[in-house]
Amino acid sequence: MNAPRRFFLTAVSQGLLAVGLVGCGFHLRQTQALAFKTLYANFSTTSPLGVELRRTLLGTGQLDVLTEPKQMAKADAVLDILGEERQQVPVGVSATGQVRELQLRLRVRFRLRTPEGVELIEPVEIYQQRDLSFTESAALSKEIEQGILYRDMQTDIVQQIMRRLSAVKRRGPAPVSQP
């Protein structure tokens, strides 16, 4: 095959590939539209989960996060973190009784409501767990790995909370029945 023909066939095949990718509907994930413009954050903004959740909420660019209790009445919705629990459970021990494997667990309970108390998301629990092998000789590196695993679970939980918040549809006033 001569060089001009090879160049032409290569250019045509690359062009067809580009057209195929454009036509498949692929696009990057974007933030979903939220049903409210202001959110009162009724959770600790100093805990690691609270810091990441607040940063993610503000990062959408779609809503104002209020943290002062006096501002709660002005908010469209109130996000309550009802509980955050981190656990380390030994699941494997050696014959001498030394821990060989840990299970790291992170459990978060939350709800979304209006300032008047109408629940938009009923109390729900999100649970994550990771397994971690453990040796006493590498305790420092395992502690660092444990922190990384907790941070990974926390990020996953924050993303799940954000998906649930974006699925909320604002309820309008109840329809008035005509006699």
pLDDT at 148 over 60: yes
Q: What per-residue confidence (pLDDT) applies to 115?
A: 92
pLDDT in tens, 82-91: 999 999 988 8
Residue 175, pLDDT > 50, answer no
pLDDT at position 60 is 86
**pLDDT at 29 exceeding the cut of 70:** no
pLDDT cut 90: percent of the chain above it: 45
Once rounded to an integer, what is the mean pLDDT over residues 54-64? Answer: 89
Distance of CA 178 to the CA centre of its chain: 44
Confidence of residue 96 (pLDDT cuts 50, 70, 90): confident
What is the arithmetic mean of pLDDT over 47-75? 90
Q: Is the pLDDT of residue 17 over 80?
A: no
pLDDT of residue 22: 61
Task: Pick the closest to residue 75 from 124, 42, 121 (CA basis).
Answer: 42
Mean pLDDT of all residues in 150-161:
95
Q: What is the radius of gyration, based on Cα positions, of the chain? A: 25
122 CB-contact burial (10 Å; exposed 0-12 / middle 13-18 / buried 19+): exposed
> How is domain 29-166 classified at the CATH fold level?
Double Stranded RNA Binding Domain (3.30.160)
Average pLDDT over residues 53-63: 89
What are the tokens at 127? Answer: 């649970």
Q: What is the mean pLDDT of residues 106-113?
A: 95
Sequence ranges of the domains in the chain: 29-166
Strand ranges across the sheet with 77-93: 64-66, 38-42, 77-93, 99-113, 119-133
